[in-house]
Chain A
Amino acid sequence: MAIREVDGVTLALMPGIMPLVFRAGPDSATRVRRAVRARLDGKTAIVDAWLKVAYGTPIPELVNNVRQNVRRRLAELAEVRDVRVNVHITDVMLPSDDHAEEDA
């Protein structure tokens, strides 16, 4: 949810076997499990997110927004203060992709 609040971001598939394991079901929880991995290292929460971004928004700014949102949400919901968010951009969605989808 924290990631989806950022404009121009779509969840993507993390690499490896796990996305294939969770491929059944198009519900939002399944999509999140295929795109986001979180683990605890001591008191530090480490979040890895695989995302597609829309062309146009500077990616560094977008990555910062994702990090801030994830940190804020985790602090509110789980009172986790020490959060490291690693962002992996798997693809950039171009305006021409939208036209191609519309044509199809």
Chain B
Amino acid sequence: VTLDTFNRVFVLTIALLVAVTALALLLVTAGLVSPGAFAGGWIGEQLRQLDSLHGSSEILALALVAILAAASTTLAALELIAPGREVTTVDADGLRFAISREGISRVVQYVCEDVTGVDDVQPTVRSSGRGLEIDCVTTLQPRFNPIEVSQRLKARIESSVEAAIGVPVRQVTVHARPAPAPRSTLP
């Protein structure tokens, strides 16, 4: 899941609120802060009730879990975990056209299905300034020449993906591996 700017700020704000609340609970339960000392009057009375949380191991655990959850959410929202899921092109008028890497991978798998000698293809799609770079981990059928199959596969991916997606394919790398040998059924 990727987030646009508005949603990212929204998620970060919620995560910050959770983290601050959990941190405050952590300090109170650890006895480092006494909330009742912060204010007088009615507000002070309300805060003094929180002093009873001191030493509560359940609240301490809950606060730690909340801080971890808020930190994970923040990382996800900043897309440190899953950067750039789209390949974006900008035309001369400044209009954006983006396509998900997952969508391109599915097209690659589909066009490779009927290449003779190929059992399975697991593509990884990257984009550079000049086009797509596609790495394919490919399982080949044992009775075919791997070099010939790889060449057919490259040609097929380049022509079909460019025609379907409209983004030039700069490089296709095939990592060929033989199909696993069938298990013997003999006793």
Interface residues of A (CB under 8 A from B): 14-18, 55-56, 58-60, 63, 67, 84-92, 94, 96
Contact = CB atoms under 8 A, between A and B. Distances in A.
A96 B112 CA distance: 13
B97 A18 contact: no
A59 B163 CA distance: 8
B7 to A, nearest CB: 3
A85 B96 CA distance: 8
Interface string B126-149: 000000000000000000000000
Nearest to A66: B97
Nearest to A57: B164
B164 A94 contact: no
11 contacts: A16-B2, A17-B3, A58-B163, A59-B164, A84-B93, A88-B96, A89-B98, A91-B100, A91-B102, A92-B106, A92-B164
Contacts, number: 73
A89 B166 contact: no
A87 B102 contact: no
Interface string B40-77: 00000000000000000000000000000000000000
Contacts of B94: 84
B7 A16 contact: yes
A90 B106 CA distance: 11
A88 B3 contact: no
B107 interface: yes
A18 B4 CA distance: 10
Contact of A88 (B1, B98, B104, B106): B98
Contacts of B86: 88
